[in-house]
Amino acid sequence: MRIRVVNPNTTAAMTETIRRCALAVVGPDTVLDAATSVTGPASIESHYDEAMSVPGLLAAIRQGEADGVDGYVIACFGDPGLDAARELAAGPVIGIAEAAMQTASHLGRGFSVVTTLGRTVGRAEDLAERYGMQRFCRGIHACELPVLSLETDPDARKIVTEACREAVAKDASDAVVLGCAGMAELCAHIRDEIGVPVIDGVAAATLTVQSLLTLGLRKSGRGEFATPPPKTYTGLLESFGS
Amino acid sequence: MRIRVVNPNTTAAMTETIRRCALAVVGPDTVLDAATSVTGPASIESHYDEAMSVPGLLAAIRQGEADGVDGYVIACFGDPGLDAARELAAGPVIGIAEAAMQTASHLGRGFSVVTTLGRTVGRAEDLAERYGMQRFCRGIHACELPVLSLETDPDARKIVTEACREAVAKDASDAVVLGCAGMAELCAHIRDEIGVPVIDGVAAATLTVQSLLTLGLRKSGRGEFATPPPKTYTGLLESFGS
Amino acid sequence: MRIRVVNPNTTAAMTETIRRCALAVVGPDTVLDAATSVTGPASIESHYDEAMSVPGLLAAIRQGEADGVDGYVIACFGDPGLDAARELAAGPVIGIAEAAMQTASHLGRGFSVVTTLGRTVGRAEDLAERYGMQRFCRGIHACELPVLSLETDPDARKIVTEACREAVAKDASDAVVLGCAGMAELCAHIRDEIGVPVIDGVAAATLTVQSLLTLGLRKSGRGEFATPPPKTYTGLLESFGS
Amino acid sequence: MRIRVVNPNTTAAMTETIRRCALAVVGPDTVLDAATSVTGPASIESHYDEAMSVPGLLAAIRQGEADGVDGYVIACFGDPGLDAARELAAGPVIGIAEAAMQTASHLGRGFSVVTTLGRTVGRAEDLAERYGMQRFCRGIHACELPVLSLETDPDARKIVTEACREAVAKDASDAVVLGCAGMAELCAHIRDEIGVPVIDGVAAATLTVQSLLTLGLRKSGRGEFATPPPKTYTGLLESFGS
Amino acid sequence: MRIRVVNPNTTAAMTETIRRCALAVVGPDTVLDAATSVTGPASIESHYDEAMSVPGLLAAIRQGEADGVDGYVIACFGDPGLDAARELAAGPVIGIAEAAMQTASHLGRGFSVVTTLGRTVGRAEDLAERYGMQRFCRGIHACELPVLSLETDPDARKIVTEACREAVAKDASDAVVLGCAGMAELCAHIRDEIGVPVIDGVAAATLTVQSLLTLGLRKSGRGEFATPPPKTYTGLLESFGS
Amino acid sequence: MRIRVVNPNTTAAMTETIRRCALAVVGPDTVLDAATSVTGPASIESHYDEAMSVPGLLAAIRQGEADGVDGYVIACFGDPGLDAARELAAGPVIGIAEAAMQTASHLGRGFSVVTTLGRTVGRAEDLAERYGMQRFCRGIHACELPVLSLETDPDARKIVTEACREAVAKDASDAVVLGCAGMAELCAHIRDEIGVPVIDGVAAATLTVQSLLTLGLRKSGRGEFATPPPKTYTGLLESFGS
């Protein structure tokens, strides 16, 4: 069983963090690796970045299919390119927002999301709706730390922790969903500090993929998520055609 | 890691089927057993049966806590007693409808549910709403087989398979959710016959519990799902008080 | 026309309060009595208590059918066992949350609910959704008084009244729904104090049952709410089978 | 306790039918009369008719207040002028669509509405949403009989009955709501013919008003439904100003 | 291309303001005029006023059809009589709330509405739902200025501007919708003061009508919005019959 | 006032069709041109194509900003890259699905969408929800013609026309929305054939942009849709960074 976690930004250090968090939860029969996108933004902090990360993500999925990968995690909380990736891959593709929110829905009546920049809150709202999780999502809060500062700012851990504490108090929620793959390693620390369950989507999505593979579940192969029809592509992206 | 699958009806043969399906999917570090409810209906086919199965289910949860069980599956598609069980248990409790629907939501735009008697369709509708899965649930269909006939009627496999085939065609759906724990062993057969993914909630819920335990996630211990306040109980159910 | 108000907890003093409030509103041709559950919790303050109150409630419905009762009120704001009770009874069964919220919907754009313990707020949210009353329900507030303290705490009246006043101010609502059968006798006092309509579900539900009986309306007798199929029950609850 | 049923069209024969249906259900202490609108359309079969029936309806409410009436029924399934009437009246005002749908919600999982002309279906959809009854309303069906033909067409009873039978079959619903005040006297006949509960909104609304009066409930007197601010009116409607 | 903006209240000075705002945005081929209702309230500040403004509005539509008008704007934020007007008119009829909210939906994730009296907030909520704009409408706020004071109160501009500023801050919204036709001329001033887009529904609706006419779009002429069936009207409103 | 219609696929012939349809509706003061994407798929018929069309679309927006364009239309019914384009552009950006659905909402109670391949139906469902148009959208139907066949298949006009006719009959809808920019020139023909209004999103969106520009409305410049933060991009897409 081969699972690949794809970091849709191009920052390899973040991929390594993500890989560690995913590896920590898989079973002994699961082969897990992580891939960094070969083209696109260094971090994803706008609709523009997210859209522009998708070609690199899809290239990684295509590479994964060639490599015999069985299932994928998209390790960015905007779940960029999820629908397109599902068309390309034969096996399951899970976004970390999708998995984190569904996981949190089992832990009580409602959860709070804590994300990086305020401008990404809208995307998280859209995803909560898309996955049917609006009824569990009690609030989405920004700590206004840029994504890459999560790894470099010495106060990052404290800032995120305090944002989580305030979110739970304000929303009267039962759990916190971390709204950025770059927060994955803060998960246990925050849980210990604030005393409520904290969900890292990277680990949650990895286990969701592993479960789907164990259950032998993959898309039916027809309809909306069938392989895309062959198509001529031109210009810079010519190689993405078929 | 100890997981217990609780069959909330009192039919031990069905518990054994359920146990096999759950056991087939857990990892090597998971200890899994199954419990049959010690009191209540032989099968659950009405709101009455479902309500009356809850004391037996809750007794099983209480016993599980005494036995050091870490997480539970409620193996009936009505997810009876889920909220109350979550109050009693320190660890995760997952219903098979909850897990099956969420699992199916990853496989395409929408799924069909195929259940036993038509009178149980309403309960499945309620659960789809509760879990935020209404947007993925394209139809709920009854094959009008009583629960216990699933194990005894020689035509059961064929009847359920045909109901699944018709459901997918009518709903233009991407997957089928089996609407009864007693259908668990039909899962692979139906998938092979109709060529779309088929989800058995018993296996799906077992893996959901295993994932939550792997992630170290449990309810926060306060609020709506905290341990119930001590209370005097009288009459037949006196022993359920504290 | 015989109406029975069933108190699903086992506290007879509370049944008597409830009976008085119901009796005060029925017409001269209505015979009204009240029954205390013969088994279960002394008060209902958790999902666990609520689930465990249902066998006693259903026994009371069964007894009512034997006694020739025409319609029933379930006098607990969680409306426990409503679906199952509707299967058992030939005539109407109305929950007090159901009736109170619908009654309040006629009095303005929105109402507030004031309940006992904070942990029961979630159940009231679920019921508002189930009855289509979410659009009218502007807030659900706890006064953190245990149910049985409503009858014993000398400050209960004041505490509940102030909680109602604050709820109306915060929610800018047009009416208050009392979220516990044990608050029934406070209704007129609170209305006089805070100057907005206050709805006691016990009285509201009793009149709803009386109206349904006057209109000659009862379930159709087929489908989801038909009499449950006969079933073997074993163990402590054996006598609930058929 | 004085209740007035207002027929917002100007056809006195229909008022008399309505009055009989309302009178049949009130208690011995209720004084019930019926009023025909003094100006407007002979029947209400379009948004235009409905809008133009409102001045006559509001004049009737104003007259009722002068006459000491305690509560009102608006006897047209479009519930015309409901919000404005609530501003004018000190006591409760209930529309027959509002009351019929809420009453039907107690009888099962879903109801069908059978109305007159197809062009009125949209208004019934709007009202189902407004009252939170969309989740119970499984279909709205027209029998394409004009309102006044209900009293004159010898086949009316048969046409409406068959439309109800087909609606229940198509929607798999538990009850039928009659979508026109002019159908009130067909209620018992249709129920006997098709074997499911049939709700006439005139009777249902009359009992809802009676219940609200018995409970002593009236709007709070402030906010959205307070008495309208005094205003100069000019032209044909000058007398409606204050 | 002839467009008529109808002011459904009877205050001619307000019609003139409205006309100027509409005229400022139409193209060179559009002939635009404005009509004051010939009967009804001097301003619309309650459900009662709104309902009573409809006959005058519909008379203006009828007059417009006789005059060869191609499309209409209803220049009151309650969009009174919209459905009925659509039945009467062969061409498009657009309400200013409808147009303003849809226009605002293009400018970001959400808008705030600032209206006159608090008692009109409920109507704006209803309209947001009707037009599918609830998901964009983040709050509706009253500045508690009566409609006619907008033109006479020397502090009106300042009061409305401050209410807009507070609304945007409280709702974290991207734009402001002015909730009264009488605020039309404040639009540019407020935008300049608070630095976010401000939408005047009169101008927005005028352009929506112009666009529909340019596209050659008009209702299909059958079904719900077909010309109302001929009908006898009696009493004061006799002339409204046909 | 300069408006640019961007065809996000790379087929120049289709751009020319689109340009003609847009040009036919703008006012005399509007300068309108059309741009073909410089890189990506020849047509958009999958989530993959749609995602891969976004870089080319965003390059066109960036070019437009350099050229002094005031507003943009995205001329593909999937509205690809809309959020990202809004971040880049100072002025309005409107998708053709967005504009077509809102325009159709003014013409009656509900519309049908007729699109190309069945696999694109899901995207149209997502967009209807996003824009608040689900309540108006009564059905989405595929005619199973590939996008580029619209211009080359001699039966295309007939096939699309019949699909529209069937959609209206099945959905009982009041209007048809054409679900592909390539259908723009069929609009008048289909309307004449089936007798209901038919909406081409290209023309509708062009007028929506023109209206927003006339109203002086543009995003506020802060928050979710502010200019994306500067970011290093690497690999093939390096030039998209800043």
Q: Read off the pLDDT of residues F128-143 as tens digits, 9 standing for 90 and up.
A: 999 999 999 999 999 9
- Per the model's pLDDT, the better-predicted residue between C125 and C218 turns out to be C125
CB contact under 8 A, F220 and E135: no
CB contact under 8 A, C103 and D212: yes
CB contact under 8 A, E51 and D58: yes
CB contact under 8 A, F233 and A119: no
Whole-angstrom Cα distance, residue C149 to residue C47? 19
DSSP chain D: -EEEEEESSS-HHHHHHHHHHHHTTS-TT-EEEEEE-SSEESS--SHHHHHHHHHHHHHHHHHHHHHT--EEEE-STT-TTHHHHHHH-SS-EEEHHHHHHHHHTTSSS-EEEEESSGGGHHHHHHHHHHTT-TTTEEEEEE----TTHHHH-TTHHHHHHHHHHHHHHHHT-SEEEE-SGGGGGGHHHHHHHH-S-EE-HHHHHHHHHHHHHHTT----SSGGGSPPPP--EEGGGGGG--
Q: Using a CB–CB cutoff of 8 Å, tell me whether D241 touches chain E.
A: yes
Q: How far is A132 from chain B (nearest CA, A)?
A: 4
Q: Tell me: pLDDT of F151 over 90.
A: no
Using a CB-CB cut-off of 8 Å, the residues of chain D touching E39 are 233-238
Query: Do the Cβ atoms of B19 and B86 come closer than 8 Å?
Result: no
Q: Tell me: pLDDT of E86 over 90.
A: yes
- F near A: at least 3 beta-carbon pairs less than 8 Å apart: yes
Q: Is the dihedral of CA C164, C167, C172, C175 positive or negative?
A: negative
Q: Tell me: pLDDT of D220 over 90.
A: no
Q: Residue B20 is which amino acid?
A: R
In angstroms, the Cα distances linking E183 to B215, D223, E164, F121 are: 56, 23, 12, 42
| Residue A160: pLDDT band with limits 50, 70, 90 | very high
Q: Tell me: pLDDT of D101 over 90.
A: yes
Write out pLDDT tens, residues B130-162.
Answer: 999 999 999 999 999 999 999 899 999 999 999
- Average pLDDT of chain A? 97
Strand, coil or helix: what is F71?
A: strand
| Residue F220: pLDDT band with limits 50, 70, 90 | confident
For chain A positions 194-213, those within 8 Å of chain F (CB to CB) are none
Percent of chain B with pLDDT over 90: 97
- B near E: at least 3 beta-carbon pairs less than 8 Å apart: no
* β-strand partners of C139: C112
Q: Using a CB–CB cutoff of 8 Å, tell me whether A225 touches chain B.
A: yes
Using a CB-CB cut-off of 8 Å, the residues of chain F touching E195 are 220-221
For chain D positions 133-192, those within 8 Å of chain C (CB to CB) are 133-136, 172, 174-175, 188, 191
Instruction: Choose from E43, E130, E232, E236 for mutation: most chain D CBs within 10 A.
Output: E236
Among C229, C232, C238, the residue with its CB nearest the CB of B46 is C229
Mean per-residue pLDDT, C216-231: 92
Of C140, D80, D128, A187, nearest in space to E54 by CA: D80
Write out pLDDT tens, residues D26-74.
Answer: 999 999 999 999 999 999 999 999 999 999 999 999 999 999 999 999 9
Residue A34 is predicted with a pLDDT of: 98
CB contact under 8 A, F131 and E105: yes
Q: Tell me: pLDDT of E17 over 90.
A: yes
Mean per-residue pLDDT, A163-190: 96
Residue C101 is predicted with a pLDDT of: 98
| Residue E221: pLDDT band with limits 50, 70, 90 | confident
In this complex, how many residue pairs, one in chain A and one in chain F, have their CB atoms less than 8 Å apart? 159
Q: Tell me: pLDDT of A44 over 90.
A: yes
Q: φ and ψ at D19, to 5 degrees?
A: -60, -45
Q: Tell me: pLDDT of A242 over 90.
A: no
Q: How far is B192 from chain C (nearest CA, A)?
A: 32
Place of tokens 């109980």: B233
Q: How far is B170 from chain C (nearest CA, A)?
A: 22
Neighbour subunits, E (≥3 Cβ pairs < 8 A): D, F
| Residue F221: pLDDT band with limits 50, 70, 90 | confident
Task: List CB contacts of C34: < 8 A, sequence separation 6 or more.
Answer: C4, C5, C6, C7, C15, C16, C18, C19, C22, C75
Query: Do the Cβ atoms of B121 and C223 come closer than 8 Å?
Result: no
Helix axis angle for A187-194 and A156-171, nearest 10°, is: 50
Percent of chain F with pLDDT over 90: 97
Q: To 10 degrees, the CA torsion angle through F6, F9, F11, F13?
A: -40
Q: Residue E210 is which amino acid?
A: Q
Residue C234 is predicted with a pLDDT of: 97
Q: φ and ψ at B219, to 5 degrees?
A: -55, 160
CB contact under 8 A, D48 and E84: yes
* β-strand partners of A71: A3
Q: Using a CB–CB cutoff of 8 Å, tell me whether B236 touches chain C.
A: yes
Residue C15 is predicted with a pLDDT of: 97
Among C56, C84, C238, the residue with its CB nearest the CB of B235 is C56
Q: Tell me: pLDDT of E74 over 90.
A: yes
Strand, coil or helix: what is A134?
A: coil
Q: Tell me: pLDDT of E238 over 90.
A: yes
Q: Using a CB–CB cutoff of 8 Å, tell me whether D42 touches chain E.
A: yes
Whole-angstrom Cα distance, residue A202 to residue A18? 7
Mean per-residue pLDDT, E182-193: 95
Instruction: Tell me the Cα Rg of chain E.
Output: 17
Whole-angstrom Cα distance, residue C85 to residue F79? 51
Q: Is the dihedral of CA D102, D106, D107, D110 positive or negative?
A: positive
Write out pLDDT tens, residues B54-96.
Answer: 999 999 999 999 999 999 999 999 999 999 999 999 999 999 9
Q: Using a CB–CB cutoff of 8 Å, tell me whether F224 touches chain A.
A: yes
Whole-angstrom Cα distance, residue D21 to residue D16? 9
Residue A221 is predicted with a pLDDT of: 82
Q: Tell me: pLDDT of C10 over 90.
A: yes
Q: Tell me: pLDDT of E157 over 90.
A: yes
Task: Catalogue all structural domains in chain A, each as residue range(s) with its CATH number.
Answer: 2-96+203-240 (3.40.50.12500), 98-201 (3.40.50.12500)
| Residue C151: pLDDT band with limits 50, 70, 90 | confident
Of E180, E182, E164, nearest in space to E127 by CA: E180
Q: Kindly give the pairing relationship between strand E233-234 and strand B137-142.
A: unpaired
| Residue B11: pLDDT band with limits 50, 70, 90 | very high
Q: Kindly give the pairing relationship between strand F111-115 and strand F175-178.
A: parallel
Strands (E), chain C: 2-7, 31-36, 40-41, 71-74, 93-95, 111-115, 137-142, 175-178, 198-199, 233-234
Q: How far is C214 from chain D (nearest CA, A)?
A: 6
Query: Do the Cβ atoms of E14 and E41 come closer than 8 Å?
Result: no
- Average pLDDT of chain D? 97
Task: List CB contacts of A169: < 8 A, sequence separation 6 or more.
Answer: none
Residue A18 is predicted with a pLDDT of: 97
CB contact under 8 A, A174 and B212: no
